[in-house]
Amino acid sequence: MFNSGHCTDCTTCGSCQQAPNVDTPTLFCMHCPPSEAPCLKACKQNAIEVLGGAITINGEKCNLCRDCVEVCPINVIKI
């Protein structure tokens, strides 16, 4: 778990692994290189996207199947 000393438990980056208080899936991860990210490969809806080098979930495409959750090596995907 990353702790910069400035964490406010906002759940935006996923590093704190706190459950977000939202109704949409959340992910902003820079742990895996996009070319090797298992969540990106597992998503049949193409809802896992790369945004500026970070891996994110497009909530409009996500069908909440949790395939990405099952393969995440650091368990930061919250659905």
The per-residue pLDDT for range 11-49, each reduced to its tens digit, is 556 555 555 444 567 788 999 999 999 999 999 999 999
Supply the pTM of this predicted model: 0.66
Under 8 Å between Cβ of 76 and 25: no
**Amino acid present at 52:** G
Q: Taking 90 as the threshold, does the pLDDT of residue 70 lie above it?
A: yes
For residues 52-75, give the mean pLDDT: 92
- Whether residue 52 is predicted with pLDDT greater than 60 in this model: the reply is yes
Computed over every residue of the chain, the mean pLDDT equals: 80
d(CA 62, CA 14): 18
Structure token pair of residue 7: 């964490």
Instruction: Tell me how far apart the alpha carbons of residues 69 and 23 are, in angstroms, rounded to a whole number.
Output: 16
